[in-house]
Chain A
C-alpha cells in the first residue's frame, strides 16, 4: 500500500539540486512512498534569511508548516538539510517561546492559516531507515553496488543542533542504508564536518578549504565517491573542483546523492536519476550482477 507524505522540496531542489529530486521521487515510488508537493510553498527561511530576521524566518517556515498540516498527511518530508533544520527550529520556537508563537500565529491569521504544531518534519534518510526499513529496501535491490567504496557524508544540519534521528557525533543511518544496497563504507572521520557551502559563494577561500578537506579525506580513505544528503553539500563538493585544484591541486572525486545510488541499485537509469548533472562524473559501475537467478 502506498504511503503518502507531504513534500517540501525547497528552492535548491528546483535549481542546482534538481538531481536530488529527480532521484528521490522515483526511489521512494519504488518503495511505495508517494510525496505530495505542497501547493505554493515558499522559501523555508534558511541560513541567509536567519541572519536578517530570525522571527521572520520562522514566519516564512510556518507558512509551509501550516500548509503541510492542511494537506492532511501525517508528516512532512524536507530533503534539503537547511530546510529540514529551519522547519524543525521553527517547531522548537513554537513550543518554547510563547512570544515567537504569538507573532507566528498573528501572521498566519492574517492570511487565514493556522498551525497547531503537530506535523513532524522528517528527512528522507529518516523515513527510509525508520519508516520504510532496511528489509524493504534490500528487497527492492536489483543491482547491488558491490565493490563501490563510498565515503558517507552527512554534513551539519541534519544532526545538529537537534539530534532527531541519528547520533550527533557518529551518524550511521546512511552507512547502513548504503551497505544494504551493497556499497562498502569507508571510515570517514569528517562525516559531519561543515562543507562550507554557505561561504563558498561569498568568501571563497574558507568555503573551498572546507570542501577540499572533505574531498581530500575521502580520497585518502580510498573512497570511489562521496554520498551526500543535501543539495548544498553536493554543489559545494562537486561544483568547485577547478578552483580547488588551482589552490591546492586536483582532488577529483564525484559527489552524488544517496538517492542516486539507491536508484542505481534499484535498476533505474543514470540519466533518469540526474547523474549527468554532476560536474565530476561518476565512474561507470561494474557489470550488473544478476540477483536471484541462482548464480
Chain B
C-alpha cells in the first residue's frame, strides 16, 4: 500500500438493495477501490444526518449512501425520506464549507453489483481530486490558539496581564 494519502469513505448501505448489491459485486469478483467502509443499516431511511456529520467529523473524506431505487424501497418509502434529508443536508454542508462532491446518494438495486463498483470508484476518484477533508486535523488546528493558555495553566502560572504576552506572537495587531 502506498504511503500517499488515501481517501476514506464511509458508506451507509441499506440491507435489501445496496448491501446485497455490494455482496453481489463480491460474488462476481468485481474489483474496486478499497477506500470505502460499509456500515449496514436496514434502510436508507435509517440514515440519520448525525451519522453523516459524525463520520465527516471523525475523519471521513466523503460519505456515500446507498438505497433502493424509487418505488423499490423494501419499506415503501424510506428512500424518499433519505433523499429529502439528503437534499437539504447537502446544501447545509456546502454552507459549512464542505464540497458537494463529498456526499453522494445513489439508488443501487440488489442486481446492480456493477453499479456498486462504478459508484465507489467514481466517488473515490472524486475525493482524490478534492483532496483530504481532514476535519479532525482542522479541529486540532483550531485548538492550537488555546494551547498557550493551557500551558500556562499547567505550569500553574497566573498571567500578569490578559494577553500582552501572547498577542504579538500570534498576531501583531488587528490591522
Query: In the complex they form, do A and B come into direct contact, defined as C-beta atoms under 8 angstroms apart?
Result: no
Q: Enumerate chain A interface residues (CB-CB to B < 8 A).
A: none
